């Protein structure tokens, strides 16, 4: 039996299109559960070895770090599949399983070639998830998304090829920024992490997916990038700076945003920023914190997006200006959304608290005062943009008069499952800590830590309500760097095309003359009576071949 | 609702009296320092967002 968890999901993706009704239901839920069981039970070490083009590969290798990510990806595939069971667009779940399976494939890859292969399959799977929305806007956004990710894949290919050429080794291990190929690999990883300045693909494309599609999208691409950064570039100082930019970029753009799921998309960039900072600090505590934060983040961000997706499904609306007051008829969706919001804000007794604080602790232990201060400010900012803003504008604020029903049972069950996990991991965090790559004695619940965190968060809540007037929602979007390729580049291209056609028009007369001459030549050679167009007897070919062979023989004698 | 929120704010500050500080840095010893910092940081973030919004906000039909 194949014991690679990712391939089970890929196989299920191939099977699902042919199933309907109960069989589809069983496979959709059983495949991720099987993957989860395998990921939890598989032994450490290299399981598969292979030879390819003279390189020795290890496509299936397990250690504590890869197990952690394989576990959370399998768990997420299960929760997502449960949530998406009633999705009318059947393609989406197949694409999502291909996507999740290949993300697991990356985390279990022992060599860079396997990483690259699964990396590309992931790009295809995720693009298909976006295209499952089957809207014109979704198609265009998916195309832009694919372009960015194929570009990232190209960077990765060039980097891996260079690395293998230089070192002769394909193993995926820690790298330093000492060669161009390692810079290329880092750049490719950062594209998928949504690192600024290559972050705009994320809020551009993800919110165009269906109500269930974005739940899957939020989990895998960016967290796979966190995994490869954890393995490949721990302790790279540059990442601290990149992470800090991501953290504040995410907050500021989310504060300006009106689309509820785009708020959460910017918030993904913000959260991945915390993890990237942890990877940049690079101590055992920091790396544990980054890994733990990726784990908890997948659960609460999926929960937030399930809550937003439920609202989108039952109301058909996505803008904060059109929503509000939904708590009256959707109390369960609101409650689950609030649990997710508290967890992302790292309130005590939620999962975010036990993971994010490890990163701040590591910054403190290393006496990185500025980083530590900025992390505290960013923690307050998370509560501001995701913790209060999202639930407030969707479920409270003015009453929009909408009284939609709660979503179907499977969606409620998925939300309840994740909400329970968010609280369970916040209270009973030891199992998560045992899964982390390094042994830890960290104790998140000290009196001082709880009180200081509550002060930080509650007073950022106060700032939200005091300054609510400045946060009023408007029917706007905020320009991001995707403006360069969505507006500036097409305009420049149109201008260039205009210039070119003008230039052509002026040289048209000369051009026409040349064209007529070429046309005449082609007609002479290939026309009905042309040399190449005539019907030749087949004996002529024999003569031709013979003369060629003769010429070869002669040249052999002459130039030997 | 407002009263509950204000009570929570007060409690969070006063509770600092009850716990033993384990600071990494000297600034953490300021009484209510986290509360002040949380408020100030958020006010600053909102102000920055507002200013950036004046520059970069466009009608949401901009790319259509």
| A211 token code pair | 């109500």
Q: What is the pLDDT of residues A124-133, one digit of tens each?
A: 999 999 999 9
**To the nearest whole number, what is the mean pLDDT of chain B?**
85
- Is the distance from CB of A412 to CB of A338 less than 8 angstroms? no
**CB < 8 Å to B43, chain A:** 463, 466-467
**Partner residue facing A252 (CB), from B37, B43, B49:** B49
Across A21-35, A108-122, B2-16, least confident range? B2-16
* CA gap A123, A55 in Å, rounded: 24
Cα distances from A444 to residues A276, A285, A450, B13, in angstroms, run 21, 12, 8, 19
**To the nearest whole number, what is the mean pLDDT of chain A?**
91
Mean pLDDT of A207-228: 94
Question: Where are the strands (E) in A266-313, listed by range?
Answer: none
Identify which has the larger pLDDT, A269 or A472: A269
pLDDT value, residue A1: 66
The answer to whether the Cβ–Cβ distance between B60 and A449 falls below 8 Å is no
- Is the distance from CB of B12 to CB of A216 less than 8 angstroms? no
A200: DSSP letter: T
* CA gap A27, A9 in Å, rounded: 10
* CA gap A261, A138 in Å, rounded: 14
Q: In which band, very low, low, confident or very high, does the pLDDT at A43 lie, cut at 50, 70 and 90?
A: confident
Cα distances from A40 to residues A33, A425, A560, in angstroms, run 11, 17, 67
Q: Note the ipTM here.
A: 0.91
Cα distances from A387 to residues A251, A304, A349, in angstroms, run 11, 10, 15
The answer to whether the Cβ–Cβ distance between A447 and B52 falls below 8 Å is no
The share of chain A scoring above pLDDT 90, in percent, equals 63
Q: In which band, very low, low, confident or very high, does the pLDDT at A20 lie, cut at 50, 70 and 90?
A: confident
**Partner residue facing B43 (CB), from A453, A463, A486:** A463
Q: What is the pLDDT of residues A388-441, one digit of tens each?
A: 889 999 998 888 888 888 899 999 999 999 999 999 999 999 999 999 999 888
Write down the pTM of the prediction.
0.88
DSSP H or E segment with residue A46: strand A45-52
A534: pLDDT strictly greater than 90: no
A455 reaches B (C-beta below 8 A): yes
B22: pLDDT strictly greater than 80: no
A511: pLDDT strictly greater than 80: no
Q: Is the dihedral of CA A116, A120, A123, A128 positive or negative?
A: negative
Phi (first) and psi of residue B58, to 5 degrees:
-135, 160
* CA gap A437, A226 in Å, rounded: 14
Q: What is the pLDDT of residues A302-353, one digit of tens each?
A: 999 999 999 999 998 888 888 888 888 899 999 999 999 999 999 999 999 9
The answer to whether the Cβ–Cβ distance between A479 and B58 falls below 8 Å is yes
- Is the distance from CB of A28 to CB of A35 less than 8 angstroms? no
Across A76-80, A166-170, A459-463, A506-510, least confident range? A506-510
pLDDT value, residue A560: 66
pLDDT value, residue B6: 87
A472: pLDDT strictly greater than 90: no
Mean pLDDT of A242-248: 95
Boundaries of every domain in chain A: 1-233, 236-442
């Amino acid at each position: 039996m194949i014991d690679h968890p990712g391939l089970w999901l890929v196989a299920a993706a191939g099977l699902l299109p042919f199933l309907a009704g109960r069989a589809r239901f069983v496979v959709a839920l059983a495949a991720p559960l099987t993957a989860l069981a395998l990921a939890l039970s598989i032994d450490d070490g290299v399981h598969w070895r292979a030879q390819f083009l003279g390189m020795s590969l290890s496509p299936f290798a397990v250690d504590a770090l890869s197990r952690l990510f394989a576990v959370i990806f399998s768990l997420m595939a299960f929760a997502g599949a449960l949530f998406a069971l009633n999705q009318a667009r059947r393609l989406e779940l197949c694409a999502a399983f291909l996507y999740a399976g290949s993300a697991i494939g990356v985390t279990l890859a022992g060599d860079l070639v396997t990483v690259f292969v699964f990396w590309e399959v992931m790009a295809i799977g995720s693009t298909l998830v976006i295209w499952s929305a089957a809207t014109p806007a979704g198609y265009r956004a998916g195309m832009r998304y694919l372009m960015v990710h194929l570009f990232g894949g190209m960077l990765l290919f060039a980097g891996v090829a260079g690395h293998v050429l230089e070192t002769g080794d394909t193993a995926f291990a820690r790298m330093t920024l000492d060669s161009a190929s390692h810079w290329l690999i880092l750049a490719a990883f950062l594209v998928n992490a949504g690192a600024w300045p290559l972050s705009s693909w994320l809020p551009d494309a993800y919110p165009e997916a269906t109500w269930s599609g974005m739940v899957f999208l939020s989990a895998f691409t960016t967290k796979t990038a966190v995994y490869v950064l954890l393995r490949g570039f721990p302790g790279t100082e540059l990442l601290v700076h990149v992470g800090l930019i991501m953290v504040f970029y995410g907050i500021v753009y989310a504060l300006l945003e009106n689309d509820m799921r785009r708020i959460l998309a910017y918030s993904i960039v913000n959260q991945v920023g915390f993890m990237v900072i942890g990877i940049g600090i690079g101590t055992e505590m920091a790396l544990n914190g980054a890994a733990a934060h990726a784990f908890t983040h997948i659960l609460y961000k999926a929960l937030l997006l399930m809550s937003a997706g439920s609202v989108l499904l039952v109301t058909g609306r996505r803008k904060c200006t059109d929503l509000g007051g939904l708590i009256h008829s959707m109390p369960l969706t609101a409650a689950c959304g609030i649990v997710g919001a508290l967890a992302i804000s790292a309130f005590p007794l939620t999962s975010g608290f036990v993971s994010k604080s490890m990163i701040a602790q590591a910054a403190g232990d290393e006496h990185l005062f500025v980083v530590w201060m900025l992390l505290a400010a960013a923690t307050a900012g998370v509560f501001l943009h995701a913790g209060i803003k999202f639930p407030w504008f969707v479920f409270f604020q003015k009453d929009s008069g909408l009284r939609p029903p709660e979503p179907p049972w499977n969606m409620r069950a998925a939300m309840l499952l994740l909400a329970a996990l968010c609280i369970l991991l916040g209270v009973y965090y030891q199992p998560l800590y045992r899964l982390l790559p390094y042994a830890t004695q960290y104790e998140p619940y000290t009196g001082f830590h709880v009180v200081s965190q509550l002060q930080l968060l509650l007073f950022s809540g106060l700032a939200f309500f005091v300054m609510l007037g400045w946060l009023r929602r408007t029917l706007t979007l905020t320009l991001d760097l995707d403006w360069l390729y969505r507006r500036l580049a097409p305009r420049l291209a149109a201008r260039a095309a205009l210039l070119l056609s003008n230039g052509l028009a002026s040289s048209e007369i000369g051009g026409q003359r040349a064209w007529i001459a070429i046309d005449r030549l082609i007609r002479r050679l290939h026309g009905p009576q042309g040399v190449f167009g005539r019907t030749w007897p087949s004996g002529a070919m024999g003569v031709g071949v013979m003369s060629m062979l003769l010429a070869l023989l002669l040249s052999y004698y002459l130039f030997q | 609702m407002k009263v509950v929120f204000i009570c929570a704010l007060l409690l969070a500050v006063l509770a600092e009296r009850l716990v033993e500080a384990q600071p990494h840095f000297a600034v953490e010893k300021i009484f209510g320092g986290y509360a002040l910092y949380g408020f100030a940081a958020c006010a600053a973030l909102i102000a920055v967002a507002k200013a950036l919004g004046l520059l970069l906000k466009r009608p949401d039909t901009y790319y259509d």
